[in-house]
Structure 1
Amino acid sequence: MLSTPIVKDLDIDKVYEPAEDTFLFLDMFEQLHEEQYFTNLNSNSTANFVLEIGSGSGLITTFIAEHNIIPRSYNLVSDINIVALRTTLNTFNDNTENTNCDALRCNLADSIRLNQINYLLFNPPYVPSEEIPSIPDADDISNTAWVDLALVGGNDGMLITNNLLNSLNNILAINGEAYILFCARNKHPQVVEKFKSKWTNFQVNCVIQRKCGWEELAIYRFKKMS
């Protein structure tokens, strides 16, 4: 079993605390690592740009880098929460000697050049809610809305995820892959069918699915073929 990175001095009032959804990502990547999925896939590649959107504590990106799960990777993380970005970089530096990690304060992948990302990771705000709080000013780090923004996703929990899905074709390089988490209340089978009918150049499959307490979570792979 691969070791889990240590997250030090996490301020849970400002940054999402790693939970079942986070650890489902870690279990998935450990499983793919054991299968040598990324090694076989990237035997001839020179570099891989890996972007985690909404990195929070940085546990997922750090886990991938610490154990060299994706070969020849350069790691990028984005978040609208500056405290989360600082936490991510601290977690990364505390657990790995890898220096290939940059943090960007932006919405989703808005600051990334088009069609450059080889692997995208997204544990979105997926909890259904009547409303989503407004984004505080960047320097308003004491605002409790930051944690709410990491959790809630509108009426069906899909507001933020739909924004990403609509942009995915412009974000990923050809043969690029996105790993996106859903809960059962997101009605992910219907979401996937709608996506595939619109974007016929993608292959989509469920990589891992698990009941976690009162939630049922699933991570899908969206692979851009052309």
Structure 2
Amino acid sequence: MLPTPDVKDVDYDLVYEPSEDTFLLLDTLEEEQQYIREKFAGKVPLAVEVGVGTGIVSTFIQKHILPSSILVGVDVNPNACATMVRTMQQNMNAGVEEPRVSDTVQMSLLSGFRDKCVDLLVFNPPYVPAESVPGLPASAGDSSWLEVALDGGEDGMAVTWDLLHNLDDILSPASGVAYILFCARNKPDQIASTMRQKGWKVDTVGHRKAGWEVLSILRFTT
């Protein structure tokens, strides 16, 4: 079992705390590591995590799954962006052989990225059903950043559909792969069916019951 990155000195009133969904992502990426490495053999892939939280998943990817990747973490929460940088610094060993290039960007989804450039995409979205998607807080110290990390609007899918509808413009056409987490209330089977009708190959690669919630991770490839 690959070690989980350490996360220290985090204000969990402002940044989403690693939970069952986070650990399901880590376990799934570990199980998928051979598939991912073979997919990007011989190239330096661009790996992007949307919604980095503490940065534990991004750190795990670059430390254990794709050590030579260029990794970018994206989050609308400035506290999450700063925390990801610290988590990376706390966990990456100095003097490693593999060049490690990572950065974080405060932005919404992937609106500023060049089309069809992302090789590996990982997204733990705000998936909790709510009346609406909350607006962005006015300041970095506003505790309602946690609502932004959790509440996904109708069926918990408003934010995720924004990304899925643009997935063809996000992933690299030859080898791009996306891992996206869903809860049962998001109706992942219906989502998979809809995306297959659009030409995507969709596989359930992670599944776990976490208390009253049932979580799944779907893998999307062309």
Whether these two folds match at TM > 0.5 is yes
Aligned length: 216
The question of whether the paired residues in 2 share the 8 Å contact of 1:28 and 1:208 is answered with yes
CA distance in 1, matches of 2:159, 2:108: 10
The question of whether the paired residues in 1 share the 8 Å contact of 2:133 and 2:153 is answered with yes
Using the aligned pairs only, state the percent identity: 42
Which residue type is aligned with residue 205 of structure 2? V
Q: Which residue of 1 aligns with 2:125?
A: 124
Deviation at 1:71, TM superposition (A): 5.2
The question of whether the paired residues in 1 share the 8 Å contact of 2:118 and 2:176 is answered with yes
Task: Please say if 1:62 is aligned against 2:59.
Answer: yes
Gaps of 5+ in 2: 94-98
Structure with greater strand percent: 1
CA distance in 1, matches of 2:27, 2:182: 15
Task: Please say if 1:47 is aligned against 2:48.
Answer: no
Q: Secondary structure at the match of 2:14?
A: coil
Deviation at 1:73, TM superposition (A): 0.9
Q: TM-score, normalised by structure 1?
A: 0.92
Q: Which residue of 1 aligns with 2:7?
A: 7
Deviation at 1:41, TM superposition (A): 2.1
Q: TM-score, normalised by structure 2?
A: 0.94
Deviation at 1:99, TM superposition (A): 4.0
Q: Which residue of 2 aligns with 1:205?
A: 203
Task: Please say if 1:87 is aligned against 2:78.
Answer: no
Q: What is the 5 A alignment of 1:177-196?
A: 177-196=177-196
Q: What is the 5 A alignment of 1:12-23?
A: 12-23=12-23
Q: 1:116 to 1:214 in 2, by over 3 A?
A: same
Q: Which residue of 1 aligns with 2:74?
A: 78
Q: Which residue of 2 aligns with 1:164?
A: 163
Gaps of 5+ in 1: none
RMSD over aligned Cα, in angstroms? Answer: 1.2
Q: Secondary structure at the match of 2:205?
A: strand
Q: Secondary structure at the match of 1:135?
A: coil
Q: Secondary structure at the match of 2:108?
A: coil
Deviation at 1:40, TM superposition (A): 2.3
Deviation at 1:134, TM superposition (A): 1.2
